[in-house]
Chains A and B, each alone.
Chain A
Amino acid sequence: MARPAAHTRIGTKAAVLSVLGLTLFGAFLRIVSITSRSFWLDEATAVRQASRPIKLMLELMSFNVHPPLFHALLHYWIQVFGRSEVAVRAFPTMFGIAAVPLAYWVGATIYDRRVGLISCGIMAISPFYIWYSQEARMYAMLLVFALVSIGAIWKAIDTGHFGWWALYSLATALGLMTQYFFIFLVVGQSLYFLLFVIVKEEQAADAEGTKRLSWKRPWAVVQDVPESVGWLASLLFAAVPLAWWLPNVLIHKALLGKVSEPLNYGWEAPRVGINFNELMLVPVEMVTGFHSQIATRDLVAMWPLLISFALLFVGWAHRVSSRTWFLILSGVTGATIMAALGQWQPILDARYFIAATAPLVFLLARFLTEFKPPVFNLLLVVLVVGSLFGWADQSYNPSSIVKWQNREAMNVVAEGYRPGDVILLSPHFTSSIAEYYLPPDAYSTIIRVPGFDAEGRLRNLPSQLAEDLDRKVGPARRVWLISTWEDTPRIALDRRNTARWLTGAGYVLKKEWRFFRIRVALYEGTPKRKFFIQPEVR
């Protein structure tokens, strides 16, 4: 698309002040609501991993689906600032705040200051980016590396300066060591670069009247397009840390096959097939943040707007500039690959797309500059009001589809716990939550439902569940049942079977506390021994 008219130019002083103001406002939104939700499973797991000695942590991370950079940095952060929710979350928040002025730099570099400022504003108030700035995971850090790599490669291609290639290489290396999906952003950028090479070669061909581009003579192409050297070298250096790390991961051959185990609960094999709602959920969350099931469902139902947008885009395609193609290829390629992979593995989660969303911020900002006042002002008001409303709702409305009131639930257990009590935790993989929030003596009594056999395999057949409980609960008079993730049918079934076993074994439900997506039940009684239930079978 063509650059905006000259009358929209913004002076340096105004730009600096605006970026400063937006960064402060973005920081305010992130900090003021930083404890508005408790840790969820992955955050607590990250804290657990980062709390271990660094050598052990690296060893364990080689079994993980993510590379270790975030956890390694978090390890040292925790040593300095402690393990409280605020202290831990301050680490990603720092990156989230840094992303705001970075967005200005990238927007202004690729387009102009106006686009830069709008991008900066979007980054500051977007509920999606605020959410991940507050989540004690690697996504805000990933976003920062994505932004730096986008700006750096554009500058590198534009100026050919060695420093920009070096920065691009560094950002890419860090991004790849933060999360593997960063590779898809690199693929998109590389596609653009190849397009750039082709266009440049075609221009040379037009000038000389000869055909030059041929994949049979790559060296000649490299000579024709000197930027290729910087690009190839950058990618090569960026791959070095990964080349050091990946062998540690790939020796665990079963890892890839187990990727989907947590969500499928070790029960169902991953299925290949498109689930439209899951697919649509990603852009909806990216645009509006995280809200209640009903609100999200309604937003997903508005998919026909995609058709309108596609119609508009077709109408604008003739004015799409190389900078816009750069962003489209960088963002959409990654998102498309992820969506395709999402049909095989459960990765259709907005957070995994965060690197791919970075280029889309600038496209959205550029899209807005297509309009002139009053339509532009109207759209800006809609964006600001919508974003702030989205931020408030996702921060202070507990009924969000990705919110768990873990802290509140665990506090009940921690306060009511007496020595001799037993705590049953369903499902088994949420123990990091209990470990983080419960006092050590209470946590030491945790029994994970279902359990594992001697070989470490999950024992989640109903009869085995009953057998395990019968053996493990022992003579305890008070049993706490903490259950969460009940929107997964298999987990809900295990929970029902556990409750049935408890009542069948002579326990009586004394009290139940229901929180959002987690509940705590206290059972009391004198247990009968060797009681077998007729479990509910799926």
Chain B
Amino acid sequence: MIEIPQHRRRTYLRNCRIFSVLSAVFGIIYLQWLLFEARPDNYVLYWMLVVAECFNVAQAAGFWMTISFQKWTEPPIPDFSQTTETVDLFVTVCGEPADVVGATITAATQVRHPRCTIWVLDDGQDETIRALAELHSVGYITRQGRRGAKAGNINHALGLTRADYFCIFDADQIPKPAFLEATLGGFEDPAVAFVQTPQVYRNRFTNRVSAGSHDQQSLFYGPILRGKNGMNAVFSCGTNVVYRRGAIDDIGGLPEDSITEDLRGSLILNKRGYSSLYVSRILAEGLGPLDVGSYFNQQFRWGRGGLEILFQRRPYQRPMSLGQAFQYSLGFMFWFTGWIYLIYLALPVLFLVFGFRPIQVPNDYPLRFIPYVLIALATIAYAADFGLRFDGLRFTLASFPVQLKSLISTFFGGKSKFVVTPKKAGKVALRPILPIIFTMIVLVFSAIYGLMRLGPDPSVFNNIAWIIGHIIILQGFVFLTFNPERAPVVGEARAPEAAKHAEEAPHVAEESA
């Protein structure tokens, strides 16, 4: 997770704003050229490029705005001996391995709060889990059927429990003892409905897919959620979160009509006038997807859930604040990234195979485009405190087939199902990456065909260079499919770094010990 030490936050925020303004200026210069000065060649492709670039700049502008509004919330640690509130800690289980659940229950029992009751909500009706709960002397709740998936499971438990607050941990999310100390202070404001904390993957040091997925999320759980916090538009992420029970009761429980109940619930709460907070401090660690297939399934669920809310749940029907509407829109936009990337993939292929190109490329194009891209990348790198890995970018772009599928299935697919991300690695499966392999074959074929058809021409080499860039991005998933378990270099490099941070933050070190 990207965290900024307290003494650097002021400078960091100021620099983020400077970078954002610079990026915006270069973005506008580029778009101005593309819209008003570029000479279109093939008009269909030109407008495809315009749509793609406008989308990109809009998405980037959203990011620049978000990082400029970052706010760190550090609620005061309550003195629980002076308060009377009660807390239910839910560990949601649905078929996860017992050892994974056992570790979470053990950690949950260490969470410091005098009136906290732990409940294992087992949708898998697994006797082993029941035995585990009894072993740790924690509550066990199960039910007949799985109506409403995870949201249904939690609502069912809410019907049987009575605490003032409840927190949710997925079966693999191991909470830190200070979890409630660090979050409950946020509810001093009666308008706060929930307090979200980051989600990090502890298996990122031993699994490449998990590491990549972790890195992809690091921006979200760093500057982006802090920015949403600054605009009172924090989304619940469904785990490592504390809810005010009264707020959830007020909206009739967590929504069961969405496979992303967390996002939908956040939206409803925000519309009802509740606010939300983000505590940017690692208070739980979970397990990330272990193979590409699992990663894609997870992405598909999030994408489908988000797009269903956008197209089928009328998110803008009741007024929200401008900041909230802006932030939810950005969230929805992310799931169109794959379609935009498809345009970028198609452009060099269409030129090399058919000779179609969007614009006549004079010197002006790279002259406007390169500064914009470089400053935008520099902004991302700075906002991420130089903590971003290439995988973080690659995982977003190379997931394009999943994002395409999410949108198509939103309109033409059947009823969506909540699928739990597996916690044990499966066999090597090529199926999830077949679209990527196919894309790479098309790209390579186009390059060879274009070179043969058009000869060594600058336009050909220009498009081949784009293709090389795409292949650098796409090949990663093929590699990861066959080598998910080898410890990534970054893990080795980061382990001491994590230890260093632990030294800087005694509470973390203490908890790790």
* Interface residues in chain A, defined as those with a beta carbon under 8 Å from any beta carbon in chain B: 2, 206, 274-277, 280, 294, 297-308, 310-312, 314-320
Instruction: Evaluate whether A301 and B458 lie within 8 angstroms (CB atoms) in the complex, with A277-B363, A307-B469, A315-B389 already known.
Output: yes
Query: Is the Cβ of B373 less than 8 Å from the Cβ of A310?
Result: yes
Minimum CB–CB distance for A346 against chain B, Å: 17
Contact of A298 among B364, B392, B461 (CB under 8 A): B461
Query: Is the Cβ of B464 less than 8 Å from the Cβ of A302?
Result: yes
Q: Give the distance in Å from the alpha carbon of A319 to the alpha carbon of B384 in the complex.
A: 13
B363 to A, closest residue via Cβ: A276
Minimum CB–CB distance for B223 against chain A, Å: 14
Q: Give the distance in Å from the alpha carbon of A276 to the alpha carbon of B363 in the complex.
A: 6
User: Among residues 380 to 428 in chain B, which have CB atoms less than 8 Å away from a CB atom of chain A?
Assistant: 380-381, 384-394
Encoded as 1 (CB less than 8 Å from any A CB) or 0, chain B from 340 to 360 comes to 000000000000000000000
Query: Is the Cβ of B373 less than 8 Å from the Cβ of A307?
Result: yes
Q: Does B506 contact A (CB under 8 A)?
A: no
B504 to A, closest residue via Cβ: A206
User: Among residues 449 to 473 in chain B, which have CB atoms less than 8 Å away from a CB atom of chain A?
Assistant: 456-462, 464-466, 468-469, 472-473
Query: Is the Cβ of B493 less than 8 Å from the Cβ of A297?
Result: no
Q: Give the distance in Å from the alpha carbon of A237 to the alpha carbon of B490 in the complex.
A: 44
Q: Give the distance in Å from the alpha carbon of A304 to the alpha carbon of B387 in the complex.
A: 24
In the complex, what residues of B have CB within 8 A of residue A317's CB? Answer: 381, 386, 388
B378 to A, closest residue via Cβ: A314
Minimum CB–CB distance for B99 against chain A, Å: 32
In the complex, what residues of A have CB within 8 A of residue B380's CB? Answer: 314
Query: Is the Cβ of B469 less than 8 Å from the Cβ of A305?
Result: yes
Minimum CB–CB distance for B446 against chain A, Å: 15
In the complex, what residues of B have CB within 8 A of residue A306's CB? Answer: 370
Query: Is the Cβ of A314 less than 8 Å from the Cβ of B456?
Result: no
Q: Give the distance in Å from the alpha carbon of A297 to the alpha carbon of B461 in the complex.
A: 10
Q: Give the distance in Å from the alpha carbon of A477 to the alpha carbon of B392 in the complex.
A: 76
Q: Give the distance in Å from the alpha carbon of A89 to the alpha carbon of B493 in the complex.
A: 47
Subset of 18 A-B contacts with CB under 8 Å = A2-B493, A206-B7, A276-B363, A276-B366, A297-B458, A301-B465, A303-B370, A303-B465, A307-B469, A308-B469, A310-B377, A311-B393, A311-B469, A312-B472, A314-B377, A314-B381, A318-B384, A318-B388
B361 to A, closest residue via Cβ: A301
Query: Is the Cβ of B363 less than 8 Å from the Cβ of A315?
Result: no
Q: Does B367 contact A (CB under 8 A)?
A: yes
Minimum CB–CB distance for B2 against chain A, Å: 9
Q: Give the distance in Å from the alpha carbon of A304 to the alpha carbon of B374 in the complex.
A: 12
In the complex, what residues of A have CB within 8 A of residue B367's CB? Answer: 274, 276
In the complex, what residues of A have CB within 8 A of residue B468's CB? Answer: 304-305, 308
* Interface residues in chain B, defined as those with a beta carbon under 8 Å from any beta carbon in chain A: 7, 363-364, 366-367, 370, 373-374, 377-378, 380-381, 384-394, 456-462, 464-466, 468-469, 472-473, 490, 493
Q: Give the distance in Å from the alpha carbon of A45 to the alpha carbon of B483 in the complex.
A: 60
Instruction: Evaluate whether A315 and B386 lie within 8 angstroms (CB atoms) in the complex, with A298-B458, A303-B462 already known.
Output: no
Query: Is the Cβ of B389 less than 8 Å from the Cβ of A298?
Result: no
Q: Which 10 A-B pairs have the closest CB atoms?
A: A315-B390, A301-B458, A308-B469, A276-B363, A302-B465, A304-B465, A317-B386, A301-B462, A301-B461, A298-B461
Query: Is the Cβ of B393 less than 8 Å from the Cβ of A319?
Result: no
Query: Is the Cβ of A305 less than 8 Å from the Cβ of B465?
Result: yes
The residue among A297, A306, A310, A311 with the most chain B CB atoms within 10 A of its own CB is A311
Q: Give the distance in Å from the alpha carbon of A314 to the alpha carbon of B367 in the complex.
A: 21
Contact of B386 among A298, A299, A307, A320 (CB under 8 A): A320
In the complex, what residues of B have CB within 8 A of residue A310's CB? Answer: 373-374, 377
Minimum CB–CB distance for B455 against chain A, Å: 10
Query: Is the Cβ of B373 less than 8 Å from the Cβ of A300?
Result: no
Minimum CB–CB distance for B315 against chain A, Å: 32
Minimum CB–CB distance for A301 against chain B, Å: 4
B457 to A, closest residue via Cβ: A298
Minimum CB–CB distance for A199 against chain B, Å: 13
A2 to B, closest residue via Cβ: B493
Contact of A302 among B363, B387, B457, B462 (CB under 8 A): B462
Instruction: Evaluate whether A311 and B390 lie within 8 angstroms (CB atoms) in the complex, with A275-B363, A276-B366, A305-B469 already known.
Output: yes
A299 to B, closest residue via Cβ: B461
Q: Give the distance in Å from the alpha carbon of A496 to the alpha carbon of B458 in the complex.
A: 31
Query: Is the Cβ of B377 less than 8 Å from the Cβ of A311?
Result: yes
Q: Give the distance in Å from the alpha carbon of A456 to the alpha carbon of B373 in the complex.
A: 49
In the complex, what residues of B have CB within 8 A of residue A320's CB? Answer: 386
A298 to B, closest residue via Cβ: B461
In the complex, what residues of A have CB within 8 A of residue B381's CB? Answer: 314, 317
Q: Give the distance in Å from the alpha carbon of A276 to the alpha carbon of B458 in the complex.
A: 14
B471 to A, closest residue via Cβ: A308
Q: Give the distance in Å from the alpha carbon of A275 to the alpha carbon of B7 in the complex.
A: 43
Query: Is the Cβ of B472 less than 8 Å from the Cβ of A298?
Result: no
Minimum CB–CB distance for A507 against chain B, Å: 41
B387 to A, closest residue via Cβ: A318
In the complex, what residues of B have CB within 8 A of residue A301's CB? Answer: 458-459, 461-462, 465
In the complex, what residues of A have CB within 8 A of residue B390's CB? Answer: 311-312, 314-316
A275-B363, A314-B388 given. 4 additional CB < 8 A pairs?
A: A303-B370, A305-B469, A314-B393, A317-B386
